[in-house]
Amino acid sequence: MKPAPFDYLAPSSIAEACQLLSEAGGGATILAGGQTLMPLLALRMSQPFILIDITRIAALKGVTRNAGITRIGPILRQNEAIADPTLAQAQPLIVTATRHVGHHQTRNRGTIGGSIALGEPAAELPATSVALGASLELTSTRGTRRIAAEEFYFGPYATALEPDELLTGIHVPEWQSGTVWMFREISQRPGDFGLVGLTGALTVKDGRIERAGIAWFGMGPTPIKARQVEAALLGQSINTLDPRALAELAIADTAPFDDHHASAEYRRTVGKRVFASALSETLNLRAAA
């Protein structure tokens, strides 16, 4: 099939893009990487009146660090993120997660912000932004607001982004020295969405866990923050942890479902094993270091 007719506009500034969104009255769609949008247009599952191409807006590019916060421009290409030295130093978990997004070819076009804004519950980057405590900068002609990533997702492809708003920045707090990173993904093939995915960070100081941020993907209708196991881990000595017991808490906040890829029971069972294995391996590596 061919896309339905639409007008194409390519603003050069955030203000211009927001003005176009405001004037469109909900009839516009943003084009950044287009890895999800273009197939939807071709199948006429998305039929916007206006396509707003934001790839020429310089203010939406790049990575910067300031006062313990890493700011990621939303149209940063995924392969650019993987190769970015600032991200590698300040946010290595984002680099790791991005390596699992799609395939090398799609990562040449796909953007960090596009994945985070879409709200696919089995995607790597939304869950990683939740685990790390990121906040999302949303801009419209009404002004700019910030919302925590964990509050951004309502359901599959349903987010707090209003029709006249543009994602203009991803702000990720930096984790202190002594932090170790966890990332596990179970999928049918490399590049597929995860059937079960775990992403997170643990800060260890003097043999105890001082800070924890853990989230799941593919385990419910949104990225899911593992609040109960985060709370249980805080203050615990890494030498006395029981990974299998904690695995029950780790999946307590999830809401897995049956689909044609896997059952809810499969996801719960594998999720517990993934968490126990990841925790053991990560903290053993930390202890050995």
Domain 58-173, classified CATH 3.40.605.10, yes or no: no
Share of the chain above pLDDT 70, in %: 98
- Residue 48 near residue 62, CB atoms below 8 Å: no
Q: Give, in degrees to the nearest 5, the angle at Cα 289 between 83 and 175.
A: 50
Helix axes 243-250, 264-288, angle to 10 degrees: 130
CATH node for 7-53: 3.30.43.10
Fold of 179-288: Enolase-like; domain 1 (3.30.390)
Token couple for 166? 């543009």
Average pLDDT, the chain: 94
What is the per-residue pLDDT across 70-89, written as a single tens digit (0 to 9) for each?
999 999 999 999 999 999 99
What is the per-residue pLDDT across 251-280, written as a single tens digit (0 to 9) for each?
999 999 999 999 999 999 999 999 999 999
What is the per-residue pLDDT across 179-207, written as a single tens digit (0 to 9) for each?
999 999 999 888 888 899 999 999 999 99
pTM: 0.94
Residue 110 backbone dihedrals phi, psi, to 5 degrees: -60, 145
* Domain ranges across the chain: 7-53, 58-173, 179-288
